[in-house]
Amino acid sequence: MVLGTTLRAVRRVLRVILFLGLLITGTDLLLLGHYEDARQVIPLVLIAMGLVVLAWHAFHGGAVNMRALQVTMVLFIASGMLGVVLHYRSNMEFQLEMDSSLSGLKLFWKVMQAKAPPALAPSAMAQLGLLGLAYGYLCPALPGSPDERNHDPGSVT
């Protein structure tokens, strides 16, 4: 079955990209000293969890560890959204301290263009989460997957 072989190859590539993304993002956060307070440690903890669960699934593929990976990836997406909000608020406070007359669209653009912390940087966590969910899509270990049901996903039924 060509489609099944292709899907397995795509999933393998996604797993490698996810692994590299986790490793590089975690290294970047550590080098930036992104561990000054409890909120800053959240992405580091999630990245460590992601690496452990991804390795667990890579070596012992099964439904339980795939579900654990999916839950972890949903937490990545949530932490990415939360991080954008926290970075935005931090930048806004700083910009208002610098110029309390700022408001509206002018304040928004100043906040978004701030270099430290970059307002949209945490969205990388959400991207990793989406990548992890893509990796888990149609996982043969999950009940109801096309491989599990001996069903060709390309056929019309």
Give the count of beta carbons closer than 10 Å to the beta carbon of residue 80: 23
Q: How confident is the model at residue 154 (pLDDT cuts 50, 70, 90)?
A: very low
The predicted pLDDT at position 116 comes to 86
Of the candidates 16, 72, 18, 82, the residue with the CA atom closest to the CA atom of residue 45: 72
Which CA distances in Å does 1 have to 15, 29, 140, 151, 155?
21, 42, 14, 10, 11
Domain boundaries, position 32: 2-136
Q: How confident is the model at residue 155 (pLDDT cuts 50, 70, 90)?
A: very low
First to last CA, the chain: 17
Residue 134 sits at φ, ψ, to 5 deg, of -65, -40
Interval 61-110: pLDDT, tens: 889 999 999 999 999 999 999 999 999 999 999 999 999 999 999 999 99
Beta carbons within 8 Å of 63's beta carbon, 6+ residues apart: 141, 142, 143
Q: Is residue 93 part of a domain?
A: yes
Share of the chain above pLDDT 90, in %: 76
Interval 29-50: pLDDT, tens: 999 999 999 999 999 999 999 9
Q: How confident is the model at residue 140 (pLDDT cuts 50, 70, 90)?
A: confident
Q: How confident is the model at residue 148 (pLDDT cuts 50, 70, 90)?
A: very low
Q: How many domains does the chain have?
A: 1
Round the average pLDDT of the chain to a whole number and report it.
89
Q: Is residue 131 part of a domain?
A: yes
